Amino acid sequence: MEKAIKKYFPIFVLPTMIAFTIGFIVPFLYGIFLSFCKFTTVVDWEWVGLSNYLKIFFVNGELDTTFIHSLWYTALFTIVSVVIINVVSFIIAMALTKGIRGTNIFRTVFFMPNLIGGIVLSYIWLMLFNSVLSHFSKTIVSSEWYAFWGLIIVVCWQQIGYMMIIYVAGIQNIPGELIEAAKIDGANAFQILKNVTLPMLMPTITVCTFLTLTNGFKLFDQNMALTGGNPGKMSQLLALNIYDTMYGTTGWQGVGQAKAVIFFILVAIISLAQNKLTTSKEVQD
Amino acid sequence: MKRKVLSVMLAAAMTVTVFAGCGDTAEEPQGTPDGAAGTEADGDTAAAPAGEGSVYMLNFKPESDQQWKDLAEIYTEQTGVEVNILTAAEGTYSTTLQSEMAKDEAPTIFNIGNVTAAQTWNDYTLDLSGSALYDHLSDKSLVINYDGKVAGVANCYECYGIIYNKTILNDYCSLDGAVISSVDEINNLDTLEAVAKDINSRVDEINEALGTHLTGAFASSGLDDGSSWRFSGHLAGVALYYEFLEDGCDLIAGEPAIDGTYLDNFKRVWDMYVTNSSADPMTLEGGTYNAEMEFGMGEAVFFQNGNWEYSALVNPDNGYEVTDADLGMMPIYFGVDDENQGLCVGTENYWAVNAKASQEDIDATLAFLEWVITSDEGRNAITNEMGLSAPFDTFTGDYESDNAFVKDNNAYIADGKTSVAWSFNATPNVDDWRADVVAALTAYTNGSGEWDAVEDAFVNGWAAQWKLAEEAK
């Protein structure tokens, strides 16, 4: 049987492979190619070598910090959102697996924000923020830090419920006898958490940190609708910065493409590293 | 063995299904731009006669989508030439144009807004100088000249200035202590400033005397993305106009470097807008203000905007208090040449014809455009249904605009005033330049920055963006 699978796997893989090639590999390779070109439409290009990559950092012969700013701003945003989302959703998940009354209602309520699209959600939050901040003569785009925390709040509000569900599933999968054994051995609640629950939960943590990490780096809708990159371009996360370069600056489609390639490499490296790190801590059965 | 045969067959079946899926898409009727987002004209049953081209228009104005489709249908009925209309959703024109142009069935008519767009699409724009469209143009300055050709011809023109509430302002003149006795006295910046200041400082008194419910003289000057263009674009345009005029360069094409000669006037007008309004200057960038509504509900007397606001202001669905009789527009007096200054007249809507289309399609397209501006159906649609003011000599009699602001503009022109050209159309990398100016203007207005930063973004930003735009050519 195994032999047969080995023999015929190309045939079974073929349909998916074709779709994957058309939908991902070809556009991806073509995108890398275009980052070395000056182009107006994707079929109308002219080879310019590395100049697109140079223009990301040097504009008119001077260092331009717009991209670098959005790079560290995005990194900071991602770190803060990953930490908050995972810690809070883990705590809620722990609370909601203790069998308190109304557990199901709470789970539903916490999960619901995730059902609303990012744009709609951000416009609603925009109104909320601005009406509260107007009492202090401020707006969500008064400075890049108002925008920063605004984005953090929206993203946390949206993603905590989702991650919570994953954590709940993970916690419920921990065999009861392990905890029981620890209790008999005299472990206190903190020791159980540290030595039993967390190690057993590592696969879940891998998944959740991976999701929040990539979500943080890729964030676009909320950024666009909530702050639009204002003030100036100071609250532009990477994805919005790329979009803005692509469509906002005449003749810079290639530069936008080059930024996108750098963006891809960065996200790929970081998420691979994260995956390796957390996977190595997983308990093997 | 049996199992093997079965698995091979199953795999084959799956593969076939996938290809069948592809086949289906390919068999979709050609002619309409397939897969295009948005809405297309109903597929015409009458196929285009062989040898004749077809027309594909990428429409810029979402609000006139249906009118164009109706017009296309009439034209197809009359001539048999297929006309497809695709309208890009608000704010996505450049992205839609970019993706549509990459297709085999690319648009034959598209919109270019300014010289920068003419530069981007230079390879695609056909020289329209010999076309009927150009011949009928009553004001030959309403074109985009680029690279030695007429790249775009205006399909409508618009004017902007300071919209004011005639009724309230007239009533104000009759009050005790009013600084003017007739609206006509406002013909320079000093008087406008004095009137705005007086109204704003006596709002409660005026409300009591006139039974109005004003909150300030000027409607809010929002610096959010939905409103900031009124200042970084339109108000800045007046400063640019006077500078270009002084330097003797093309008023629409501009020059590589500017000095910001009239920035002090810009600052004076901006300060007037902000200080004589009830909006909190600290929160203008938040997007919580709606200037149109404030003016429409009679909460403000002045509102800088253009004639396109007319339909929104008088549309009964919006429930505004103002009516046609209340609406007037005066020039944005700038303290430079106030006695001769008229409204700012120009457009960001130029038709361009795709030079890369086949010759049959180009011919069909030019014929269609000529039909639009000469036939009764076309003229009726443009003037009465879309509410546009067309700059062609064929629009006379019934096809003249009934827009109150356009009428004001005609009166200023008849009075010998000089229209201010839309010099902001020269802005290099317009989005980037404006974003920087708005950021600096916001900081200045909410007190976190200095005016110097506005000057820097305005003057140095211009030179830097110009250089970038040149390089990108």
DSSP B441-473: HHHHHHTSS-HHHHHHHHHHHHHHHHHHHHHT-
| For chain A, percent of residues with pLDDT exceeding 90 | 59
Which residues on chain A are in Cβ contact (under 8 Å) with B453?
none
pLDDT band of residue B7 (cuts 50, 70, 90) is low
Question: Average of pLDDT values for B17-35?
Answer: 40
Mean pLDDT of A88-111: 89
Specify whether the CB–CB gap between A4 and A12 falls below 8 A: no
Query: Comparing B2-11, B124-133, B361-370, B456-465, which segment has the lowest mean pLDDT?
Result: B2-11
> Using CB atoms, which residue from B11, B287, B429 is nearest to A250?
B429
A139, B286: Cβ pair inside 8 Å? yes
Nearest CA in chain B to A130: B286
Q: Which residues contact A232 (CB under 8 A, 6 or more apart)?
A: B435, B436, B439
Query: Would the pLDDT of B262 be above 50?
Result: yes
Pairing of strands B149-154, B109-112: unpaired
Comparison of pLDDT for A247 and B333, the residue scoring more = B333
* Test the A interface: residue of B290, B425, B446 with most A CBs within 10 Å: B446
Distance from CA of B271 to the nearest CA of A (A): 18
**Which member of B3, B286, B464 has the closest CB to residue A60?**
B464
Q: What is the pLDDT of residues B48-107, one digit of tens each?
A: 444 578 999 999 988 889 999 999 999 999 999 999 999 988 777 888 898 899 888 999
Nearest CB to A232 within list B431, B439, B469: B439
Cβ pair B221, B230 in contact under 8 A? yes
CA-based nearest residue to B216, from B127, B276, B131 = B276
CA geometry: angle A174, A180, A182, nearest 5 deg: 95
In angstroms, the CA B128 to CA B134 distance is: 7
Q: How far is B326 from chain A (nearest CA, A)?
A: 32
Quick one: closest CA in B to A13, which residue?
Answer: B11
pLDDT score, position A104 = 86
Nearest to A270 by CA among A189, A197, A215: A215
Query: For residue B53, which of B98, B111, B105, B128 has the smallest C-alpha distance?
Result: B105
Give B212-216 contacts, CB < 8 A, sequence gap 24+. Answer: B212/B168, B212/B171, B212/B298, B213/B297, B213/B298, B213/B299, B214/B168, B214/B298, B214/B299, B214/B300, B214/B301, B215/B278, B215/B294, B215/B299, B215/B300, B216/B276, B216/B277, B216/B278, B216/B279, B216/B299, B216/B300
Q: A-side interface with B, Cβ within 8 Å?
A: 4, 8, 11-12, 14-15, 18-19, 38, 40-44, 59-60, 126-127, 130-131, 133-134, 137-143, 228-234, 244, 247-253
Q: What is the pLDDT of residue B402?
A: 81
Share of chain A above pLDDT 70, in %: 99
Contact A43 B435 (CB under 8 A): no
The percent of residues in chain B predicted with pLDDT above 70, rounded, is 89
Q: How many residues does chain B have?
A: 473
Name the residue among A12, A60, A231 with its Cβ closest to that of B11: A12
Contact A156, A81 (CB under 8 A): yes
DSSP A21: I
Q: How many CB atoms lie within 10 A of CB A52?
A: 22
**What is the amino acid identity at position B175?**
L
**pLDDT tens, position by position, A224-272:** 999 988 888 899 999 999 999 988 887 888 999 999 999 999 999 998 9
Closest partner residue to B116 (CB to CB) among A44, A59, A250 is A250
Look at residue A57 in the predicted model and tell me its pLDDT: 92
pLDDT in tens, B148-193: 899 999 998 889 999 999 999 999 999 988 899 999 999 999 999 9
* Cα angle for residues A108, A109, A113 (degrees, 5° grid): 105
Furthest-apart CA atoms within chain B: distance in Å: 106
Q: Does position B24 have pLDDT exceeding 50, yes or no?
A: no
| Predicted confidence (pLDDT) per residue in B250-261, tens digit | 888 889 999 999
Please, which residues bridge with residue B58 across strands? B86
Distance CA A181, CA A187 (A): 9
Instruction: Give the pLDDT band of residue A91 (cuts 50, 70, 90).
Output: very high
pLDDT band per the 50, 70, 90 thresholds, residue B31: very low
Q: What is the DSSP letter of B340?
A: T
CA distance B16 to chain A (A): 9
- Indicate the average pLDDT of chain B: 86
Please give the pLDDT value at position A240: 94
Burial class (CB in 10 A: 0-12, 13-18, 19+), A25: exposed
Nearest chain B alpha carbon to A255: B472
More confident residue, B388 or B277: B277
Name the one residue in this structure whose structure tokens are 């590293």. Answer: A273
At B352, phi and psi to the nearest 5?
-125, 145
Sign of the alpha-carbon torsion through B307, B260, B449, A151: positive
Interface test with A, best of B9, B14, B119, B283 (most A CBs within 10 A): B283
* Cα-Cα-Cα-Cα dihedral sign, residues B138, B140, B144, B150: positive
* Residues B160, B329: Cα–Cα separation, whole Å: 8
Q: Is the pLDDT at B451 greater than 60, yes or no?
A: yes
Q: Could you say which of B101, B283, B287 has the minimum Cβ distance to residue A41?
A: B101
Alpha carbon distance B217, B200 (integer Å):
5
Are B86 and B57 within 8 A, CB to CB? yes
Nearest residue of chain A to residue B463 (CA atoms): A60
Give start and end residues of each alpha helix (H) in A134-237: 144-172, 176-184, 189-192, 198-218, 221-226
Q: What is the DSSP letter of A24?
A: I
What's the rounded mean pLDDT across residues A94-118? Answer: 86
Average pLDDT over residues B126-134: 92
Q: How far apart are CA A116 and CA A158, in angstroms?
A: 8
Task: List the B55-59 sheet strands across, edge first.
Answer: B83-87, B55-59, B109-112, B350-353, B149-154, B143-146
Average confidence (pLDDT) over B455-464: 95
Is the pLDDT at B384 greater than 70? The verdict is yes
Q: Report ipTM (2 d.p.).
A: 0.82
Q: Could you tell me which chain A residue has the CA closest to the CA of B356?
A: A44
Average pLDDT over residues B131-137: 91
Task: Name the pLDDT band for B143 (thresholds 50, 70, 90).
Answer: confident
A134 → chain B, closest CA residue:
B283
Give the Cα separation of A151 and A172 in Å (integer).
Answer: 32
Tokens 């489609």 locate to A253
Instruction: Name, in order, each residue with C-beta under 8 angstroms of A61's C-beta and a sequence gap of 6 or more.
Output: none
A14-70 pLDDT, tens digit per residue, is 999 999 999 999 999 999 999 999 887 787 788 998 999 999 998 888 888 899 999
Query: Among A219, A246, A249, A223, which residue's Cα sits nearest to residue A234?
Result: A223
Identify the H or E element spanning B247: helix B236-247
> pLDDT tens digits, residue range B351-383?
999 999 999 999 999 999 999 999 999 999 998
Query: Between chains, do A18 and B18 touch, taking CB under 8 Å as contact?
Result: yes
Maximum distance among all Cα pairs of chain A, rounded to whole angstroms = 72
